[in-house]
Chain A
Amino acid sequence: MRTPAPTLLAAALLAVLLAACKTELVCATGQAECGGRCVSLALDSANCGACGNACGAGTVCSAGTCSACAATCTSTRGCAGEVCQPDLFVGCPATSELLPRAADLTPAGSGRSVTAGLTALTSADGFLFSASGFPAAAVDIVPMDPAQASRRVALAGSDLEGIAVHGGVTFVSNAATGTLAFLGAGGALLDELPLPGQQSGPNPHGITFVGSKAYVALTGYGPGSGQAIAVVDLAGLSACSAEAAPPACGAGDTCDPGRHCVAGACRLPCASVSGSIDLSGVAGSSDAPGLPFPGRLLSVGTKVYATLANLKIPAGGSFYMEPAGSGRLAVVDTAAGDAVSIVDLGASCGNPGNLALQGTTLWVSCGSFGYSAAWPGRLVPVSIAGAPAVGSAVSTGDVLPNGISICGGRAYLGDMASGKVLPFDLAARAAGTAVEVCPLNAPPGPPDFGYAYVADVACAP
């Protein structure tokens, strides 16, 4: 006997399917139906912000609007409006500009001009602060927003060697005058502090902070100058920086007791020198006939770490330029009366330049520009979880690091011999591929006239 069951079942299934096709499209959260498809109106360049709103050439859809910035900005911080938010800035002295870069070192906006002779760079509170020296010292305060104008603050002399921001105040090491300058918000000069041995050439460089004290590396120029760390008491910093409208100086630059005349205003003193930590007499700080030459400082907890270049005068030379031996790290225990201990950074590290912290590891950049064959580029890890322990040095290849900056967990090393920046994977302890960032300066001139190097790298504030 034949039954109709299979035929009926097929017909029923067909009817169900047909019915299903007529059902409205259900899209995931954040998507919308456009032309029968589920799309992201925030990101779909054919339906940007609304179905059918296609973005033009050179733009992509970002946050529901067609953006030219988003089409080019590779920064992990994306665009704010139509402005790419770089991950870091590279200081290029040859062209006197700060170049914004994404984490992968691709361009992330237009360069920002600064004063000629760029030496140091830092960032804080939405601003970049660059120190420039020769031939005329100045600090440029550069807002992150390129639509806002930068401010330039001229200082005496022609050699600025360090800059740092603390408590809303910018600290500047003026090597030409042996002073520490204090700039308030907006760039007003709040105070200028003569450093120990001012007339012998203390040559201040790196600056760091522990509690209410600043520590300033006094690099010096040779025997009898520098070779120390100045201790600066910042007890007056809050009061001096808080004054919005200090009284004007009187005739003959006179002020009431407790104040002194600074750039036409009677200001409260920001700081005073409370001591100086001599390094030349510390055993192991250098190899005779070398001298320590402290350079950059970094504080971790109550300890201050200072790189010691350990330099000597080369045969037939006149300046302390050649590494006398391996670089050193001076550790100042501020909780123990500024007691100093010395860490040898190992035979691979000559002329240590700068240092940065990741977790409990200090990373120290090493390498000598004039003696790169004997002292090539290296990165040396120093564990400070307990007593400092120096790890194996890692080669930086052709790059002679002029410092190290850690941005977003990734290290960047600017080259003192070219315009390259070397990304460095700290976890893998491996160098990436160096990227040419700073261009040669190329004004019309002789055929071989032109140079490039990287002065400093600063993480975006």
Chain B
Amino acid sequence: MSEELVVEGKRAPRPRDPTAAATVIPAERHAGEAKDVAALLATAPGVAVQEYGGLGQLATVSIRGSLASGVLVLLDGIPLQASGGAGGDLASIPRHWISRVEVLRGAEGAYYGSGALAGVVDVVTARPAAGGWRAELSGGSFATWSAGASGAAAAGPWSLFAAASADGTGGRFPYDFDPDPSAGAGGTRTEQRRHNAALRGGLLVKADRPAYGGQLDLLLQLSAGHRQLAGSPYHLTPLDWQDDGRLLLAARLEVPDLLPGLDGGARLHAQADQLDLRLDPALTARQRGAAAGGELTLSWAHAPGRLRGALAASGERLAGDALEGGHSRAALSAALSGELSLGRVRLAPAVRLDAVGPFRGLSAKVGASVALAPWLGLRLSGGRAFRAPSFAELYLRQGLIDPNPALQSEVSLSADAALVAEGAPGLLRLGGFGQRYQELILYQRASFDRLKAFNAGRAAVGGLEVEAASAPLRRLLSATFSASYTWLATRNLRGTGAEVGNDLPFRARHRLYLRAGVAPGPAELHAEVHVVGRQYRDLANTAVVPAATIWNAGGSVRLWQRPALRLHLEVKNLLDDRTASDPLGNPLPSRMVMVTLRAGSSPEGAP
């Protein structure tokens, strides 16, 4: 089995949900390719990433047709505070920190609580062994650059790790501007995207030591960014910008064998985030968010499996100009989950009660895996999850937007099944799913010129998810191949007669990712393609967004063995499609060339 195959199929150590529909994307697999969280996620099945302009601009993720708010985004297991505005923004997470991205698809509320309607994305940061180090420097098109360095050391009982990163882009790229877009033919001219720069920096410090027979982990994450907001090509906004920042502190203590077979754990976390948005000529939003919480867990290993219980308490606060002051709420949860092995069958039931301010929610899930053969397994699960309305939906009054304090929680029900074949030829996962979203919170027209949040959405989604990895010519050229494909059928269940039964907007029925690579000797070459099928812009399904195909290619060569030194060349949007745009009509970057020099100790940072 190839190295690529191993990392593609590898699961996170002791996952919370042992039968989840999960994909783990190791960042190392794409090292040197200048891929951020959004780009890594886009390689997974069931996932749709929306990049609003690219190059450091807002990026969100949808799983199984969900809204972006229906995906819980975690950083090292800690929910990023979406209420503060930057939490769901994948571009706010520095890419140099990433060790792997774990994607869990389906209603995961029983394991992760409020917000995991359609799934969870957990960005796990690096944790190298003492003595390990690495550094990376990239530069390329559109004045885009990146620098990152990290190192690990031991100091007495402590293992220390620190990483710093900085990314920037001038953001100026050429694109095809169509002065008469309704005419739908020719007549475009090349324009330069301006006022589109972005700058981001971050610091990550980790420390761990033995404690009480177990391990104590400490974590500090600091990141801040500034981005210019270019606006639509038909309404440029040369004076608009946005600043965001986040401070996150966490401590975790894991103590095995408190009693025979009984493990204990405790976690504390605190975070603060800020978001300033300026829309010329008035400052629109200045938001300050804070959250803190703790969790106690007990895990009992028994003969046929494991039983885990957790109690958690947290509080969050959001204040801002458009929030009529500040709002706070407390959250409590109690969760119980188990694993039961019965021969070839493993069962994993879970239930969780959450109280988020005045909102109560019961989440549950039952999963099972069956070993049909040494190389073939079957995985099944079904669950229910909810999402409490955010502070923004409840209280934010901004521009034409009205809040709605009377909102209820969103609810989702999901069921899925997958066959997993794994052996010498490679890995193949083939799954199907059905998901129903109820009481979705959507901003709807409420009067002449006001939009207001309502529990107005209801949808059913079904589809297929295929994931494959193979190394058919490994002995010859260390060739590898991987692919993911999603067929997504969405159905709107609420609205006018012209809208009910139609596809949800911006939900492509087909999404395909293919990658092939060879690694002859010290060199490595790869090519990948993303195909996104036709989708609709509106619920009435009258406005079509055509299908799009984007090719990327790259390669690297080893310059030095120890310390490892490798030079990468990556070309994104190889065919230079200058017509690509995001759902808001903002152009996406044209062909982009990045050169990266990576150095590092072995094994961490090794090419």
Contact = CB atoms under 8 A, between A and B. Distances in A.
Do these two chains interact?
yes
Interface of A: 93-96, 113, 115-116, 135-138, 152, 154-158, 174, 176-179, 181, 189, 191-194, 198-201, 203, 221-223, 225, 249, 252-254, 260-264, 313, 316-319, 369-370, 400, 402, 416-417, 441, 443-446, 448-449, 451, 453
Contacts of B236: 199-201
Given A201-B232, A222-B280, 16 more contacts: A135-B505, A136-B540, A192-B181, A199-B236, A201-B235, A203-B235, A221-B235, A225-B235, A252-B186, A262-B185, A316-B322, A317-B282, A318-B279, A318-B399, A319-B400, A451-B446
A194 B181 CA distance: 10
Given A319-B400, A448-B406, A261 B183 contact: yes
Nearest to A454: B448
B540 A189 contact: no
B141 interface: no
Contacts, number: 158
B496 A116 contact: yes
B456 A449 contact: yes
11 contacts: A95-B496, A136-B540, A136-B542, A136-B543, A154-B542, A156-B182, A199-B191, A313-B282, A318-B399, A443-B496, A451-B445
Contact of A445 (B282, B445, B494): B494
Contacts of B543: 135-137, 154
Contacts of B400: 319
B454 interface: yes
A262 B444 contact: no
Contacts of A249: 185-186
A318 B284 contact: yes
A445 B498 contact: no
Contact of A444 (B235, B282, B494): B494
A194 B191 CA distance: 15
B107 to A, nearest CB: 22
B90 interface: no
Given A115-B540, A115-B542, A177-B234, A446 B454 contact: yes
Contact of B184 (A135, A263, A444): A263
A318 B240 CA distance: 12
B186 A199 contact: no
Given A221-B235, A416-B448, A443 B495 contact: yes
B182 A116 contact: no
Interface in B350-368: none
Q: Give the one of B186, B235, B283 with max A CB within 10 A.
A: B235
A135 B541 CA distance: 10
A223 B505 CA distance: 33
A157 B280 CA distance: 23
B449 A261 contact: no
B154 to A, nearest CB: 52
Contacts of A138: 542
B198 to A, nearest CB: 21
Contacts of B282: 313, 317-318
A260 B179 CA distance: 13
Given A261-B185, A318-B398, A449 B444 contact: yes
B496 A441 contact: yes
B186 A417 contact: no
A200 B235 contact: yes
B242 to A, nearest CB: 13
B307 to A, nearest CB: 40
A194 B539 CA distance: 28
A313 B280 CA distance: 11
Nearest to A260: B187
Interface in B166-218: 177, 179-187, 191
B548 to A, nearest CB: 17
Q: Give the one of A115, A156, A222 with max B CB within 10 A.
A: A156
Nearest to A450: B446
B490 to A, nearest CB: 16
A223 B234 contact: no
Nearest to B444: A449
A317 B399 contact: yes
A179 B180 contact: yes
A198 B447 contact: no
Nearest to A113: B498
A253 B185 contact: yes
A318 B397 CA distance: 11
A443 B456 CA distance: 9
B54 interface: no
Contacts of A260: 183, 186-187
A287 B582 CA distance: 38
B182 A177 contact: yes
Given A318-B282, A443-B495, A262 B183 contact: yes
B510 interface: no
Nearest to A192: B180
Interface in B365-414: 398-400, 406, 408
Contacts of B260: none
Contact of B182 (A96, A192, A252): A192
Interface in B261-295: 279-285
Contacts of B398: 318
Contacts of A400: 448
A152 B398 CA distance: 34
B221 to A, nearest CB: 31
B537 interface: yes
A211 to B, nearest CB: 25
Closest 9 CB pairs of A and B: A253-B186, A201-B235, A136-B543, A156-B181, A192-B180, A318-B284, A416-B448, A135-B538, A194-B179
Contacts of A451: 445-447
A230 to B, nearest CB: 14
B538 A136 contact: yes
Given A179-B182, A249-B185, A449 B542 contact: no
B158 to A, nearest CB: 48
A264 B496 CA distance: 33
Nearest to A135: B538
Nearest to A314: B282
A276 B231 CA distance: 24
Nearest to A152: B542
Q: Give the one of B183, B281, B543 with max A CB within 10 A.
A: B183
Contacts of B444: 449
Contacts of B602: none
A135 B398 CA distance: 20
A417 B180 contact: no
A355 B110 CA distance: 59
Contact of B498 (A116, A316, A319): A116
Contacts of B448: 369, 400, 402, 416-417, 453
Contacts of A137: 543
A319 B233 CA distance: 20
Contact of A198 (B179, B279, B456, B540): B179
Contacts of A116: 496, 498-499, 538, 540
A373 B284 CA distance: 24
Contacts of A445: 454-456, 494
B185 A369 contact: no
Contacts of A369: 447-449
A146 B181 CA distance: 32
B180 A193 contact: yes
Given A115-B542, A260-B187, A317-B282, A155 B537 contact: no
Contacts of B495: 443
B524 interface: no
A273 to B, nearest CB: 12
A181 B181 CA distance: 10
Interface string B538-552: 111011000000000
Contact of B539 (A135, A176, A192, A253): A135
A94 B444 CA distance: 11
A137 B398 CA distance: 25
B76 interface: no
B28 interface: no
Q: Give the one of A116, A157, A200, A448 with max B CB within 10 A.
A: A116
A178 B235 CA distance: 8
